[in-house]
Structure formats: structure tokens, C-alpha cells
Amino acid sequence: MTNVKAYPKYMKELFKLASPMIMGSLGIILIGAGDVFVAARHSTDTLASISIANSILTCIFLFGIGLLASISPLLSNFRGSRNNIKKYFLPTISFAIVLAFLSSILILLFIPLLCNLGFDPILIPAIKKYNMYLYGFWIGLTVSIFSLSIMLLLILLKKLRKIKRAD
């Protein structure tokens, strides 16, 4: 018989593990939705171009999110067996950054193929332009996250040195 009183504790743990993936997916969807809402006020061609570009980019990003989703069960297993999961922080960030660069390359490789997908020729320049804007945004975001993670790592190392000196 299961202990119903333990469910809130498990729900909290599950939310803790799933929240990065939830936030990442939500962020991608909200950026796309915001772009579509703004484009709808401009013109139907702009709306169509951005909607197509968002669909293409979302497929690429969901592939990356699927790969990153593999990290959560691994960390859950380590955490469940009472292993220290803090040592996996930097490798996880490194994996995410490499994946972001690979996704960026995939986006760049996909842009020339747009002409062959049967879209209206009027829309193709706008789709390419929007893909390049998002490409620049995601590269900037990746570099920012990498810089932030390096800063956090340096702060952690400094604190660990202070703790070791105090012992």
C-alpha cells in the first residue's frame, strides 16, 4: 500500500527535476507566440513567414530538448542513490552548449534548403531573415549562459578554497 502523505514530497522532487525542461520549452513557445502576435499586426505575409520559420526552428529545438531531457533521469538516478550530483553541473552545461552550437549549425544548413520546400517565393526571404535573427539570438543566449556558468563555477571554486583553508 502506498503512502499518500509522501506524494507532496515526490511531487516537489519531480518538479525540481522537471522545471528546467519545462522552462526551456515554455520559453521557446512563448518567444514564438510573441513573434506571431506581433507579426499578425504587420501583414499576412509577415505572419506566414514567421509562422513557418517558428515551426522549422521549434522542430530543431525540440530535438535538442529531447537530448537534454536524457540528463534528468540520469541525475535522478544519481540523486536517488545519494550520490553528489553537483559534480555534473559543468559537464551538463558543456553538453548543452555543444548541443546549442550543433543546433545553430543545423539552422544555418537548413536556411539554403528553404527554396526547395515549396513555400511561396515571396515568403522565402522573410523566412530566411527571421531564421537568421533567431540564430543570432540563440548564439547570444548560449554565449551568455556559458559566461554565467563560468562565473558561477569560479565563485564556487573560490568558496570551496575558503572552506578548505578554514579546516
For 87-110, write each residue's pLDDT tens digit.
777 777 777 778 777 877 877 787
Per-residue pLDDT for 28 more than 60? yes
Give the per-residue pLDDT at 167: 63
- What is the rounded radius of gyration, in angstroms, for the C-alpha atoms of the chain? 21
Across the chain, what does the average pLDDT equal? 79
Q: Is the pTM of this model over 0.75?
A: no
Average pLDDT over residues 10-14: 82
Greater confidence (51 vs 69) lies with 51
Per-residue pLDDT for 1 more than 60? no
Nearest CA to 48 out of 132, 111, 119 is that of 119
Percent of residues, the chain, with pLDDT higher than 90: 0
The answer to whether 101 and 146 are in contact (CB under 8 A) is no
Taking only the tens place, the pLDDT of each residue in 138-153 is 677 777 777 777 777 7
Give the per-residue pLDDT at 2: 64
In a 13 Å sphere around the CA of 28, the CA atoms on its Cβ side amount to: 20
Greater confidence (134 vs 34) lies with 34
Give the per-residue pLDDT at 68: 73
